[in-house]
């Protein structure tokens, strides 16, 4: 790519800049870009979300690779020259993360008192037994008891075998 030179003073309007760009004036295109890049970025960010932010950061990283020459002029972007980097950066390798251990869960019925303390636990197919105990406790103790499903981690088969046969390895 060639070198982008300093942009001329602001044109009267966008139509004039478009007409100049149509004749091959690269400075006119640069001026239009400088005027509308923030607006275009906001629209793209709304549409694409964080992907646009990542792309913008990558573009900033690429532009930092190029050299910037200052002609002793003010630090405004319109008066700077930028030299485009000759070689693009190699893409960064993705970091490998461990996948979290998946704990299998099972649903059981819990009988709870008014303080949300679990009084008893029943396997999932025994819902009727859990309801019977809750109604019995409610009538005997004059306090409300209720049944609610609870998720509990499932025990691994290997752990159960070790508990049953501690001599085997």
The confidence score (pLDDT) of residue 63 equals: 60
Backbone phi, psi, residue 84, to 5°: -75, 140
Put residue 142 in one of left, alpha, beta given phi > 0 → left and psi -120 to 50 → alpha. left
Residue keyed to tokens 């752990």: 159
Res. 161: pLDDT tops 90: no
Res. 82: pLDDT tops 60: no
Contact at 8 Å (CB) between 163 and 155? no
Q: What is the mean pLDDT of residues 77-103?
A: 62
**pTM for the structure as a whole:** 0.37
Higher pLDDT, 5 or 49: 49
Res. 123: pLDDT tops 50: yes
Rounded CA gap, 82 and 68, in Å? 5
Higher pLDDT, 46 or 167: 46
């Amino acid at each position: 790519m060639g070198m982008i030179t300093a942009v001329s003073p602001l044109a009267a309007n966008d139509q004039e800049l478009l007409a100049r760009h149509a004749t091959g004036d690269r400075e006119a295109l640069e001026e239009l870009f400088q005027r509308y890049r923030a607006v275009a970025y906001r629209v793209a960010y709304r549409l694409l979300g964080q992907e646009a932010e990542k792309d913008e950061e990558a573009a900033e990283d690429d532009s930092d690779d190029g050299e910037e020459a200052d002609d002793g002029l003010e630090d405004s972007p319109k008066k700077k020259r930028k030299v485009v980097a000759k070689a693009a950066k190699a893409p960064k390798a993705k970091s490998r993360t461990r996948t979290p251990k998946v704990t299998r869960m099972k649903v059981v019925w819990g009988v709870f008192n008014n303080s949300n303390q679990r009084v008893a636990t029943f396997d999932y197919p025994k819902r009727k037994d859990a309801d019977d105990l809750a109604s019995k406790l409610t009538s005997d103790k004059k306090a409300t008891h209720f049944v609610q499903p609870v998720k509990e981690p499932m025990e691994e088969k290997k752990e159960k075998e070790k508990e049953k046969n501690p001599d085997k390895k």
